Chains A and B, each alone.
Chain A
Amino acid sequence: MIKLTINNQQVEVLPGTTILQAAKKLDIKIPTLCYHPLLEPYAACRVCIVERISGEVSDLVTSCNTKVQDGWVVFTDSEKTIKARKLIVEMLMAQAPAAEPVKEIAKELGIEKTRFEITDPEEKCILCGLCVRTCEQIVGANAISFVERGKERKVYTPYGEPSEACIGCTACAFFCPTEAMTVEDLKGRKVIHEELTLGPSTAIRVPIRQAVPMVPFIDTEACIHFKTGNCKLCEKVCEREAVNHEMEDEEIEVEVGSIILASGFKPFDAKRIPAYGYGRFPNVITALDFEKLVNASSPTGGKILCTNGEEPKSVAIIHCVGSRDENYNEYCSRVCCMYSLKFAHLIKEKTSAKIYDFYIDMRCFGKGYEEFYHRLLEEGTTFIRGRVSEITDIPLTEEERGKLIIRVEDTLLGTLRRIPVDMVILATGLEPGMDQNELARTFNISCSQDTFFLERHPKLAPVSTFSDGIFLAGACQSPKDIPDTVAQAGAAASEALSLADRGVFELEPITAVIDEELCAGCQLCVGLCPFTAITYNKEKGISEINDALCKGCGTCVSACPSGASQQKHFRDEQIFAEIEGIFID
């Protein structure tokens, strides 16, 4: 242990401790600008100087990087120290007059103005090197560095070109004490590679502003720790020690009695209809794109704007995109007419655009829906009955120039029309989620012809499947809106609960039974059972029927080559006896 005295107070520290750290132990505050506990000390700003007396010699040293020796006497605010510090701060004020932390220290020291010449009154960079050291030591990207010497010294990229090494982590901006390096500034100075986007796309981020739970996740593809083994800055900075890069995916097995499938839907991919130009024309957007645009947390703050930043003067909403169409999906997606009306109403509220709604039928089936449609009619939206054939940007007249032209057959007027608009919203339909087939196979349930999950009975059992204990809720079973989804979810939940709650379970008396002695384990029956009631027991080498699932159809019985499977009350012998009985004259 090393003993030294700071400001007439004794302190004992381990070898390797700096004066700054030793002073901290005594709660003595020494001002710093370029020091950060996570980085190696640099001693660039010189603000932390203290007077050190070692033996007979008294001199000024920087406390952040000077390691203590036994018997030193240190003064952090002696006359000599303060005089020197004031000079240093005045120089810093001349270098970076706009830097707030410098102004604060100046105020503490009682400095009103600097005697030195100010080159740039807007300059904030104090050349502390925190950004450079961060990029080098913590992140390991080495994208920025100091260039030039003396007056010309500055933080820069190689040749001032966009640095390819920069990963856009913005750690440099995080560490900068004076806001000389800011996220916007990075874009301006071309330090960050132009292809990288900043802000919400950092490797550790909260996915969306409405995320539940509202916690960040680490995108392992973008995170530099998983590429180089470095960084882990987020872990170091987190005071609650909540970040853990070593987290692994866990596979948990849970035994349950009933399952509710609520795997939802995905929107129809509008790119599949080339005539509508989605992906070609930037102002042709889908319903979901529009929802994201008009949301208050969108990049436009909820303003409805075309890609040129201006409000559209005319908007077209096209119904039945991918629905009611023998080329794509024949079914009606149920929700699109109503959300299209909602959009029309929103656009009317927020802009003064002329709105055209292209429909085949107006399906306003729910409570208050038809009344809402009437309101839209009164508001002045133009409804045109006809299927849009094409959206083009090739003008035939002067007023069509620069617009998107809707080509449609107006079936009520009986003519073909060309309608120029600024923005087109495609009311895309609903399709089952991407993993629909995989889920169907995993849970052994069927899909109906429209590829949504098949319910046990379209009228009498809309939330159950043919497998007991597996229930359906929401859009995975068929397209539906929120009130219907909530109702169906309640139904599925209550059926699942009553299944568990009943305490007793009714079995069919006419189920099939497999005779263990006769069964050869050929497993022919396993694949035939529509209720997945038969499983193969590897240890015993035979197939077994789950009495609770078996419905007593007898298919396995007639398929069984060894006669091991027999149906109660409909045994082979019983039916043979019936046949014989028929012919007794």
Chain B
Amino acid sequence: MSNEVFEPKIVGFLCNWCSYTGADLAGTARMTYAPNVRIIRVMCSGRVDPQFVLKAFHEGADGVLVSGCHPGDCHYQEGNYKALRRHRLLSKMLEQFGIEKERFRLEWVSAAEGVKFQQVCNEFTEEIRRLGPLNLNGGKHEQRKA
């Protein structure tokens, strides 16, 4: 058990038009990067409800990534600004829960930035690895271990 390397479980919410396509580009270009980010596609980063983030942590995620179009480039004009607002407020709330704000990350990845997506996945995974497992009190992972 002590020799096992901790593999973070990260849930990523990617917007369909930019980030998801950017991730797809990383894939089609056969780039290698950490497999720890499990992707859920939404149409816009503005769709990401704070409930999703909380649910993800509750289900056992060690980190949550939200990625959208660059500011000014949102396919739906302003959705990413809403995501930005929610991220700022939610981070504060999460800290009060005892969840470090480094575990909840907001990134802008455009459809052409396969490389950036690769970097983000690698960096975030290492960061969470450094932070260690979340082991949220009352989280579902407790049930699973039992």
Contact = CB atoms under 8 A, between A and B. Distances in A.
Interface of A: 446, 466, 510, 528, 530-531, 551-555, 557-559, 567, 570, 572, 575-576, 578-580, 582-583, 585
Interface in B63-83: 75-79, 82
Contacts of B8: none
Contacts of B82: 528, 555, 558-559
15 contacts: A510-B43, A530-B76, A530-B79, A531-B77, A551-B76, A553-B47, A554-B42, A554-B79, A555-B44, A557-B49, A567-B47, A570-B43, A572-B51, A575-B52, A579-B11
Nearest to B60: A583
Contacts of B38: 582
Contact of A552 (B9, B43, B60): B43
A572 B49 contact: yes
Nearest to B10: A582
B11 A582 contact: yes
Contact of A583 (B9, B46, B50): B9
B20 to A, nearest CB: 13
A511 B78 CA distance: 17
B59 A558 contact: no
A579 B59 contact: yes
A510 B41 CA distance: 13
B144 A578 contact: no
A530 B77 contact: yes
Given A557-B49, A583-B59, 15 more contacts: A528-B82, A530-B76, A530-B78, A530-B79, A531-B76, A553-B75, A553-B76, A553-B79, A554-B46, A555-B46, A555-B76, A558-B50, A582-B59, A583-B60, A583-B61
A565 to B, nearest CB: 11
Contact of B40 (A552, A572, A575): A575
Contact of A558 (B47, B61, B75): B47
Interface in B12-31: none
A181 B133 CA distance: 102
Contacts of B47: 553-555, 557-558, 567, 570
Contacts of A580: 59
Contacts of B59: 579-580, 582-583
- Most interface-central of A551, A555, A582 (chain B CB within 10 A): A555
A558 B44 CA distance: 11
Interface of B: 9, 11, 38, 40, 42-44, 46-52, 55-56, 59-61, 75-79, 82, 86, 140-141, 144
Contacts of A567: 43, 47
Contact of A570 (B11, B42, B78): B42
Contacts of A554: 42-44, 46-47, 79
Nearest to B57: A579
B103 to A, nearest CB: 15
Contacts of A572: 49, 51
B76 A582 contact: no
A386 to B, nearest CB: 35
A580 B60 CA distance: 9
B54 to A, nearest CB: 10
8 nearest CB pairs, A to B: A554-B47, A553-B76, A555-B46, A558-B49, A530-B77, A553-B44, A582-B38, A583-B59
B56 A558 contact: no
A575 B55 CA distance: 10
B135 to A, nearest CB: 14
Nearest to B13: A575
Nearest to A576: B55
Nearest to A553: B76
A572 B60 CA distance: 19
Nearest to A508: B43
Contacts of A559: 82
Given A528-B82, A579-B40, A558 B77 contact: no
